[in-house]
Amino acid sequence: MTVHGNLTGLKANQLAALSRMEARRVPPSRIITPEFAAVLCMLSREIGRQIGVFIDRRGQVTDVAVGDFDRIMLPDFGRVRGGEGRFRGLRFIHTHLRQEPLSREDMTDLTKLRLDMIAALGVSPEGVPGSVYLAHLLPPSATGALHRVLGPLNPGALPDDFILLIESLEAEFAKQVSGRKVTRENRAILIHVATNRQRLPEARRSLDELAELARSAGLDVADRILQVRDRPDRRFVLGEGKLEDVVVRAMQEDAELLIMDCNLSGNQARAIADKTELKVIDRTQLILEIFAQRATSADGRLKVELAQLKYLIPRLGAKDDSLSRLTGGIGGRKGPGETKMEIGRRRAKERVGRLQARLAQLAKGRAQRRVRRQKSELPIVSIVGYTNAGKSTLLNALTRSDVPVEDRLFATLETASRRLRFPRDREIIVTDTVGFIRDLPPDLVDAFKATLEELQDATLLLHVVDIGDPAHREHIVAVEKILAELALSHIPRLFVFNKADLVEEGEVLPFVEAEGGVLISARNRQSLHPLLSRIEQHIWHRAKD
């Protein structure tokens, strides 16, 4: 049997004693026997290091690990799917030379390896077994407890119903899995790190928005984690100890994906992924993924791909062993020695060039259509606003059209234009645009700037605001900031406060009037008359003035 861990300096007879552990057996119903505990403690005290043994459900020792005086590194057994509802079938018994309780690392190992049980066996100065501490996993419950910890216990008085306990726990976990319809690949944990300078309500609203983005991407939010720090950790963003808690939570919730509510550098994303063995994306990647899912036109798909490549290229420069193997040989464009990382970066840049050329051709077609609209001399009213504020619903209500509407962020990515007829045979063109969001990725702004340039021709902008959202003031600021970046601040705008049916009119009316806006419910066409009057007044009556 292979003995794992720190074997440096051990004598031949000590190595032999460790190897002979394989021949020892424990009754399946017992966690460990007093005789086995005595041998383990005596050898641990002799070599001055922690010793651990893995025991299967038949009572057979399968592996032995040796650590240092105060810690032990476990072999890499790989991960067990939490969604299967079963444990690994191994319990881990190890010594603590200071007779301390189970450590945080012990609890992380229990969850990460999905062990049947973990036990810390105290070793007295004389090498005699001391108190025992036990822990096992618990199925998700309202209490939020991840583990059950027992101890200190006498080594000779440990529970003797081990197999019955584990089988009953597995049955409970299996019930949780059978009732879950979402696969682990679609389960995500959201993480936000707030600084002391940031107000907690803002942090929670940011997490709420991230949850909506995840839902729009087809993900199931397994949990949300909010940590407050003086400043984000340079490497892991959140503290290393908190990151271990995240691993534990991910294993219990059977989540495969971590979504950070910030923008990660390539090194940060890689460090978190290496530490947790989970997939890691940031807020920008999530938004890019939503755009990639929703883009239907050739123009839209090209823009999204361009934004994704622009996001990826700088991150190809970060050190990554999987990309740094040398390649080359006959036919290599740069000859022997060019790395896969360099090839990937070069090919990505070449693809960016081709995409930009193709988008330039499509832009000519859009420009020609704009010229035709300008010749028709029809006024253009463009609907803008924060994502999921109800812009498409408003377009449908105004023009009696059937633009697809969903209660999801970024349900609309393609510009839609419809005609709206007023009395005396007067018409306008109403256009719906992609929704904005705070901290919209710059590459996405650049990629869709050509589409949004059509807003330059607008006679009036209808800035739609979800008045029922507690963060509607922050949304207004975010949209106005993006309009300024697109050089659209000079175009007249009218605030349209939507979803009036979700609020008390008396509470919001002072704010609406202070902003010179109109209060409507896009689902109720009767509420649109004041809006139509304001549009008519702005386009034709002001023109006369």
More confident residue, 133 or 74: 133
pLDDT above 70 for 334: no
Do 380 and 429 touch, CB atoms closer than 8 A? yes
Q: Is 495 exposed, middle or buried (0-12, 13-18, 19+ CB in 10 A)?
A: buried
pLDDT at residue number 277: 82
Which DSSP letter does residue 541 get?
I
Confidence category of residue 348, pLDDT binned at 50, 70, 90? confident
More confident residue, 406 or 75: 75
What percent of the chain stands above pLDDT 70? Answer: 81
Nearest Cα to 288, choosing from 311, 315, 270?
A: 311
Per-residue pLDDT of 17-69, as tens digits, reads 999 988 889 999 999 999 999 999 999 999 999 999 999 999 999 999 999 99
Residue 542 CB: number of other CB atoms within 10 A?
Answer: 11
Q: What is the number of H-type helices and E-type strands within the chain?
A: 16, 17
The residue count for the chain:
545
Contacts of 423 (CB under 8 A, 6+ apart): none
Walk me through the domains of the chain, giving residue ranges and CATH numbers. Answer: 3-178 (no CATH), 184-290 (3.40.50.11060), 304-359 (no CATH), 378-544 (3.40.50.300)
pLDDT above 50 for 139: yes
More confident residue, 114 or 401: 114
More confident residue, 422 or 337: 422
Do 50 and 56 touch, CB atoms closer than 8 A? no
Q: What is the mean pLDDT of the chain?
A: 82
Q: Are strands 416-422 and 147-153 parallel, antiparallel or unpaired?
A: unpaired
Nearest Cα to 108, choosing from 65, 79, 144, 143?
A: 79
Confidence category of residue 146, pLDDT binned at 50, 70, 90? confident
pLDDT at residue number 138: 86
Cα–Cα distance between 297 and 293 in angstroms, integer? 12
Beta partners for residue 223, in sequence order: 189
Per-residue pLDDT of 240-285, as tens digits, reads 888 888 887 887 777 889 999 988 888 898 899 888 888 899 988 8
pLDDT at residue number 449: 61
Q: pTM for the whole thing?
A: 0.69
pLDDT above 80 for 178: no
pLDDT at residue number 322: 35
Per-residue pLDDT of 508-535, as tens digits, reads 999 999 999 999 999 898 899 999 999 9
Alpha helices in 69-185 (DSSP H): 104-112, 162-178
Per-residue pLDDT of 460-469, as tens digits, reads 999 999 999 9
Nearest Cα to 260, choosing from 215, 290, 225, 310?
A: 225
pLDDT at residue number 408: 58
pLDDT at residue number 464: 94
Contacts of 466 (CB under 8 A, 6+ apart): 386, 388, 389, 390, 472, 475, 498, 499
More confident residue, 436 or 203: 203
Per-residue pLDDT of 152-172, as tens digits, reads 999 888 888 899 999 999 888
pLDDT at residue number 198: 64
pLDDT above 60 for 327: no
Do 110 and 137 touch, CB atoms closer than 8 A? yes
pLDDT above 80 for 345: no
More confident residue, 416 or 405: 416
